Amino acid sequence: MLAGDLYLADDPELEADALRAAELGERYNASSVTDLPARQALLRDLVGELGEGVVVRPPLAVDYGTYISIGARTFINSGAVLLDVAPIRIGEDVQIGPNVQLLTPTHPIEAEPRRAKWEAARPITIGDNVWLGGGVIVCPGVTIGANTVVGAGSVVTRDLPADVVAVGNPARVVRGLPES
């Protein structure tokens, strides 16, 4: 699965991992904003790696959680969907708007293997200091370079370089960013 090979999602071991994530996610999403230490503890149990000063506003949806790495000082707004069948690496100081989807799963385009419930996945990497506007969708296998800004509602179907602004469906680079 993590290597991008085909797998069956209803494998008993995978189902147990997904159930664990669903239970933790349910508790996290119901956690009180007034008990931040308890909320952070749940998030640490849910995701694989969590940097210092990370804020993730509920609700949050994941497949397994354990294949997600979130860098220090990153902010993820409400409604995030992080389908981590393959690793999702989010850098430091990243800003993720509401209802953003990072989607690693893929499915065969041929009817028969899809009917048989075969799936695969490709990792997603978000560089440091990236800003993903509200409603952005990042597709399987995509890497977004450091400092890049992706406009609200964009669908990122292929890699984006560092230091650019990209918008649209599919997302296209519209300009570079000035050196800081």
Give pLDDT tens digits for 148-160: 999 999 999 999 9
Is the predicted pLDDT of residue 6 greater than 80, yes or no? yes
- Name the average pLDDT for the chain: 95
pLDDT digits (tens, 9 = 90+) for 103-126: 999 999 999 999 999 999 999 999
CA-derived radius of gyration, the chain? 16
CATH class (in words) of the domain with range 7-176:
mainly beta
Q: Give pTM, 2 decimals.
A: 0.95
3-state secondary structure of 56: strand
How confident is the model over 64-100, as pLDDT tens digits?
999 999 999 999 999 999 999 999 999 999 999 999 9
**Residues 132-151, mean pLDDT to the nearest whole number:** 98
CB-CB contact of 141 with 124 (8 Å): yes
Catalytic machinery residues: 107
Peptide bond before 170: cis, by omega within 30 degrees of 0? yes
Of all helices (H) and strands (E), which one includes residue 150?
A: strand 149-150
Lowest pLDDT segment from 5-9, 21-25, 48-52? 5-9
* 3-class SS of residue 127: coil
User: What is residue 77's predicted lDDT score, i.e. its pLDDT?
Assistant: 98
| Domain limits, the chain | 7-176
